[in-house]
Structure 1
Amino acid sequence: MNISEIETFLMIVKTKNITKTAENLFLSQPTVSHRLKSLEEELGVKLIARKKGHKQIELTSQGEEFIPIAERWVSVWQEMQLLKHSREKLYLTVGCTDTLNSAIFFDLYRNMLNEKEQFINLHIKTHYSYELYSLLENHEIDLGFVYHHLHFKNIVTKPVLKEKMYIMQAEDAPIKKPVIHTDELNPDWEIFASWEANYQVWHDQNVSKGNRPRVEVDTFELLLHLMSDPRMWTIAPVTVVERIRTLRPIYVSEIGNTSKPPERVTYMIKHKYPNEASLKAVQVFEEKMKEYLKSKDWGYLG
């Protein structure tokens, strides 16, 4: 029994299909079938119920029972690799949403990379919030930062940052006032980003008022480029505003609506039962993150 056979089995569990498993692992179908057969012969049980004419595979009862064993086997193998290659270095996989990586943690990552004692290796992943919860639950990341609070049985969620929202325009915008009501701005030129669920509700009630935004973005990079047009405007949290300000001239206003948008909350998510190999790395990252956020005037929650 080797890691390739175990990983092939777990991919079959995920895809429910031999063909898709082969595609995902960049293997031929015969290779996938050979690995599965070899694993079954070594275990002495049938893991897959093979039915002619059925594209989607089904697990046997032994196959279902073997899933958690296979997952633990992979976890142990990964920890063995870390032990083998670590040489006292720490390895950490961090997952964030696009704007959190681009606007909030960009400088933190850079600061860590510029340290003289480079003893932590970072693997940074960018995903949507709901994807990060699943990745953490499956131990595919060690630590996550999201702006949606979802309930997962094995995940601990902690708020770490609460950000005020502002109206942001290009420097040569036609309306430049310290305080602007969204009704003063042309809704056809709004760049909408759904920062989180409560903001979406507020926006529907107070800005779009039932109308669909003309343009909606979900990446920092696209928002940055669209803000070059003087007609464009957007509502964004302070971290995004400050980051874009370092990259292009912008004009920033307070929101003059009677009903203010909810502040965007960033949550740190951790697994209740983390891998032992990542515990120290998570602790080190948390300490550096705390120092970094405390140095900023963003609304650190401690």
Structure 2
Amino acid sequence: MNLAEIETFLTIVNTKSITKTADLLFLSQPTVSHRLTSLENELGFSLVIRNKGHKQVELTPKGMDFIILAERWMSLWKETLELQHNQEQLLLNIGCTDSLNIAVFVPLYDKILIDYPHLDLSIQSHHSSELYGMLSEHNIDIGFVYHQLHYKNIISEKLFEEKLYLLQSEHPVVEKPIVHTDELDSTKELFLSWDDNFQIWHDRWLSSVSRPHISADTITLLDRLWKNADTWMIAPESVIHELSRYRKVYVSELKNPAPNRICYKIKHKYPKTTSKRAVELFEEILEQFLHLERKEIPIGEIWGGR
């Protein structure tokens, strides 16, 4: 087996078409067919069912079973190339939620760039549920999520938890240090679903009244859309600290508080050999970073801004 044959087979699996595979790989259709036949001859069994007149390619039962082996072969090939490229330079693939990347980890990444130049970072932002799948398939080396899912090959560990507050502009409509959600105009809400527990709490106290004025899936977008002084949001303390860097804000506690948001670190039980040292080094740096003293949030005061 060679790289070209395996790559061609996996592309056929994804496209279910010889024609589309040829287009994606910039090959002729006879070349794609030749590679597939060559691979089948080496394996000693058929991978696809050849039906004349059918546009879609159908895999044989053994072809379906071979997908896992082919993906593992490709993964090992990539690891080998990484070893050949540079044995001294480490690479770590990190997967995080958007709010964690933006509001918490940017100073950590800055520190690594300055103090650990031999550690390269590949950083991706995805939803928590997507990160579990990516880690399971070794597309990332370590992940940070806001809820626990049960994958037999993934280890999860609580990293930290944070409180949620009511956040208003420097001209608050409800200027009180402690506020109940019944006092808020839900049609003026800027909404982001911070985690599943928050969504359940929000559905009980706010969504039953009316829908939010604006819903978004990144804090950067929410910040850009926050134009009106009478709008408000409920956000975790890390996000509030991030937003207060650019604008003056007024923060209140909630009489009917939302559940704390818990961040979990997830790792694969069987990490890639090439990423093991990078993960260990990152965890050492992360532990030091999390022990740094956190700034308190002033309640019932106007603060922040450049």
For the criterion TM > 0.5, the same-fold answer is yes
> Residues 111-260 of structure 1: matches in 2 within 5 Å?
111-115=111-115, 117-209=116-208, 211-257=210-256, 260=257
What SS does structure 1 have at the residue aligned with 2:251?
strand
- Structure 1 unaligned spans of 5+: none
Change (3 A) 1:177 1:139: same
Deviation at 1:21, TM superposition (A): 4.8
Q: Which residue of 1 aligns with 2:299?
A: none
Please say if residues 161 and 298 of structure 1, whose CA atoms lie closer than 8 Å, have aligned partners that are also in contact. no
Q: Which residue of 1 aligns with 2:302?
A: none
Change (3 A) 1:278 1:189: same
Deviation at 1:15, TM superposition (A): 4.4
Q: Which residue of 2 aligns with 1:280?
A: 277
User: Sequence identity, in percent?
Assistant: 48
What SS does structure 1 have at the residue aligned with 2:294?
coil
What SS does structure 2 have at the residue aligned with 1:94?
strand
> How many residues of Structure 1 are paired with residues of Structure 2 in the alignment?
295
What SS does structure 1 have at the residue aligned with 2:92?
strand
Please say if residues 176 and 252 of structure 2, whose CA atoms lie closer than 8 Å, have aligned partners that are also in contact. yes
Deviation per residue, 1:165-209 (Å, 9 max, x gap): 011112223332222222222111101111111111111112222
Deviation at 1:55, TM superposition (A): 4.3
What SS does structure 1 have at the residue aligned with 2:201?
helix
Range moving further from structure 2, 10-19 or 147-156:
10-19
Please say if residues 158 and 262 of structure 2, whose CA atoms lie closer than 8 Å, have aligned partners that are also in contact. yes
Deviation per residue, 1:102-149 (Å, 9 max, x gap): 11111111111111x411111111111111111111111111111121
Q: Which has the larger radius of gyration?
A: 2
RMSD, matched Cα: 2.3
What SS does structure 2 have at the residue aligned with 1:134?
helix
Alpha-carbon separation, structure 2, partners of 1:8 and 1:262: 49
What SS does structure 1 have at the residue aligned with 2:150?
coil
Alpha-carbon separation, structure 2, partners of 1:164 and 1:298: 13
Please say if residues 158 and 265 of structure 2, whose CA atoms lie closer than 8 Å, have aligned partners that are also in contact. yes
Deviation per residue, 1:43-73 (Å, 9 max, x gap): 3432111224544432213313322321221
- Output the amino acid matched with 2:162: E
Q: Which residue of 1 aligns with 2:65?
A: 65
Whether 1:289 and 2:252 are equivalent positions in the alignment is no
TM-score when normalising by structure 1: 0.89
Whether 1:267 and 2:238 are equivalent positions in the alignment is no
What SS does structure 2 have at the residue aligned with 1:114?
helix
Deviation at 1:222, TM superposition (A): 0.9
Please say if residues 186 and 209 of structure 2, whose CA atoms lie closer than 8 Å, have aligned partners that are also in contact. no
Q: Which residue of 1 aligns with 2:11?
A: 11
Q: Which residue of 2 aligns with 1:89?
A: 89
Alpha-carbon separation, structure 1, partners of 2:82 and 2:186: 52
> Residues 27-106 of structure 1: matches in 2 within 5 Å?
27=26, 30=29, 32-106=32-106
Alpha-carbon separation, structure 1, partners of 2:218 and 2:291: 26
Please say if residues 162 and 266 of structure 1, whose CA atoms lie closer than 8 Å, have aligned partners that are also in contact. yes
Alpha-carbon separation, structure 2, partners of 1:11 and 1:224: 40
Change (3 A) 1:36 1:188: same
Please say if residues 155 and 266 of structure 2, whose CA atoms lie closer than 8 Å, have aligned partners that are also in contact. yes
Deviation at 1:40, TM superposition (A): 2.7
Change (3 A) 1:76 1:298: farther
What SS does structure 2 have at the residue aligned with 1:79?
helix
Deviation at 1:294, TM superposition (A): 1.7
Please say if residues 226 and 232 of structure 1, whose CA atoms lie closer than 8 Å, have aligned partners that are also in contact. no
Please say if residues 238 and 298 of structure 1, whose CA atoms lie closer than 8 Å, have aligned partners that are also in contact. no
